[in-house]
Structure formats: C-alpha cells, structure tokens
Amino acid sequence: MEKNAKIYVAGHRGMAGSAIVRRLQQAGYHNLVLRTSKELDLRNQAAVADFFAEEKPGYVVLAAAKVGGIVANNTYRADFLYDNLMIESNVLEQARVHGVQKLLYLGSSCIYPKMAPQPIKEEYLLTGPLEPTNEPYAIAKIAGLKLCEAYHDQHGCRFITVMPTNLYGPGDNYHPENSHVMAALLRKISEAAALGRPQVEVWGTGKPYREFLHVDDLADACLHLLLHYDGRDPINVGTGEDLTIRELAETIAELTGYQGELVFDTSRPDGTPRKLLDVSRLHNLGWHHRIELREGIRHVLEAAEWHTDAAEVANHALSALAT
C-alpha cells in the first residue's frame, strides 16, 4: 500500500475509525478521504455511488456502523438491522464497481453464537443461535461479512474482514444508558469515587466473562492486515485474555481509589456468558496486542472524556493513579 494511496475511512469520527485514522497518519499515510455522516449518508445508495465516482479511493476501511450497548441494541432493533445493512451494502457494492484495490470491513465478536465453544474460532460462525438482545446488529454484521466473501469469490475483490473483541479507549461512548460495559463502568465508578457516592450499580450478575482490546491496538492490527493479509476468511482481533465483569469493576475501583460498594442489579441482562476470541490465526500472521488492560484503563481515566463533573472526576482519578 503506497504512502500516497488514497484511503477512504468510513466512520472516521467513531472510536474505531478515528483510531485507524491516527494509526494510518502515524505510518505516513496522509492522503485520507473523510466524510461525516452529515456530509455523506452511507444509507443513501445514490449518494454513495456519487461519492465513489468522484473520489475514486484506492483503499477503503469500512468502520462506519450504528453501534450501542445491550439496551440500545434491544430497544432499536429495526434501526440497528436496517442502518447497518444499508451502510455495508452500499459501500461494498461501490467499492466493487469502482475497482477499489483493497477493502477492510470491521465485523464484531458479537456475531458468534451465544453458546459458542471457548475460545471462539473463526469457523464457529453460524453454528448456533445468537444472543437475542443483540441479534439484529449481529445479523447485519454477518451479512456484511458474507458480502465480503461473496465479492471475493465471484468478482475477485480483495475484501478482508476483521472481527474485533470488545473495544475501549479514546472516542468511546460514555452515555449512561446506551454505552458498552467498559465505558459505563469507567464513568460510573470514577464519578462515584470523585463525588463520594456510597454505591455503584453494575448491571447483571457480574459473572459473564469479557475480553477487552484497546482501540489503538485494533487500529494497529488493521494496518498490519491491510499490509499482510488477502484471504477471504475473517480474522479475530483480540488479546486472547478475559475477566469477569465483577473483576473488571473491581479493577476500575482499585485504579480510581473507589472505596464504596459495587451493587449488582440482577434484573438487568447479562448477555452472552463468555466470548473469548481465539486469536491464533492473527498471531500466526505476526501480530500481538501491546496495551495490557490495566495500562489501557489508566490511559482512559487520565483522559476522562465523559462530561458530567469531568474536571472533578479527572482530578480525583489522576490523584489515585499517582498513589
């Protein structure tokens, strides 16, 4: 991939997309094509066709998607299914029509069966029922993955798919209701520590296991795969390590100096019991994660991107990290 190659990063203001832009720029790729959703609605077939005809990107990273946590996925089921189907269908088809040299499509680990054997190998896809609360989003992402495979087989397109585990880091969504578990706990616990709240509510039993990858590591893996992988089969991207939600909450409490009580609301859904990715295929391609979980959480706490009482929270978190 030449340093002057024109690269379109769809979803460049999202957590994954912005990290990929940073990584590309660090590696010397500066001919990047970027559009906000207001400038280019990827659900609009005609608009996407016009964009590709005008810009003619040589490479595409499809990181644009409608995403959210358990509540959002289960509440806006039609939106998650429709929007994601339209985004990926329009972008993939125009990439084919205009002869894009290579496209990287971001899938998700949530597309695997709810009760898949652990750790999850790429070939376990479509071998069992999905997690019900997440089904519409998962079906849409599976459709995108299968589209990439079909374009590869029928048209010879170099479309590759990566399946990241749970992400965290700069640019995450810290909304109190619609965020993922890591972002929700980081905000809740750090604010509780700063404001002296006696309790923090944690959704679910705390027993499910989750794997977490810093988004900067994902971006590095994506660049590695753009440069070194051309296969049709999807590639898991993760750390190969996990912990329970309880352990995650306790780790954040420790790093923020929170001394209050963690209260588990068992009326809230747990989601999939465990979804640890098998990353041996990625390791065999020469890539390993670099940012360990505690280090990554420290970086997020130092940044304190959430807005409610942000200054007070940040000051307390930094003082705790310094001890």
Please tell me whether 18 is known to bind a ligand.
no
Please tell me whether 306 is known to bind a ligand.
no
Please tell me whether 307 is known to bind a ligand.
no
Please tell me whether 287 is known to bind a ligand.
no
Closest by CA position to 131, among listed 69, 84, 186: 69
Q: Report how far Cα 94 is from the mean position of its chain's Cα atoms.
A: 24
137 labelled catalytic: yes
Please tell me whether 16 is known to bind a ligand.
yes
Can you tell me the distance from the alpha carbon of 11 to that of 21, in angstroms, rounded to the nearest whole number? 10
Please tell me whether 167 is known to bind a ligand.
yes
Residue 192 CB-density burial (10 A; 0-12 exposed, 13-18 middle, 19+ buried): buried
Closest by CA position to 247, among listed 213, 292, 279, 294: 294
Residues 6+ apart with CB under 8 A from 29: 1, 3, 5, 7
Can you tell me the distance from the alpha carbon of 232 to that of 15, in angstroms, rounded to the nearest whole number? 25
Please tell me whether 190 is known to bind a ligand.
no
Q: Which tokens in the block code for residue 231? A: 């296969």
Please tell me whether 298 is known to bind a ligand.
no
Residues 6+ apart with CB under 8 A from 261: 198, 199, 200
Please tell me whether 286 is known to bind a ligand.
no
Please tell me whether 14 is known to bind a ligand.
yes
Contact criterion met (CB below 8 Å) for 190 and 250:
no
Q: Is 235 helix (H, G, I), strand (E, B) or coil?
A: strand
Please tell me whether 270 is known to bind a ligand.
yes
Residue 209 CB-density burial (10 A; 0-12 exposed, 13-18 middle, 19+ buried): middle
φ/ψ (deg, to 5) at 314: -65, -45
Can you tell me the distance from the alpha carbon of 128 to that of 142, in angstroms, rounded to the nearest whole number? 13
Can you tell me the distance from the alpha carbon of 20 to that of 162, in angstroms, rounded to the nearest whole number? 13
The pairing of beta strand 102-106 with beta strand 7-10: unpaired
* Residue tagged active-site, from 112, 137, 151, 174: 137
Please tell me whether 42 is known to bind a ligand.
no
Please tell me whether 299 is known to bind a ligand.
no
Q: Which residues sit in the known binding site for NADP(+)?
A: 11-17, 106-109, 141, 164-167, 180
Q: Which residues sit in the known binding site?
A: 11-17, 106-109, 141, 164-167, 180, 188, 203, 210, 270
Residues known to be catalytic: 137
Q: Which residues sit in the known binding site for substrate?
A: 188, 203, 210, 270
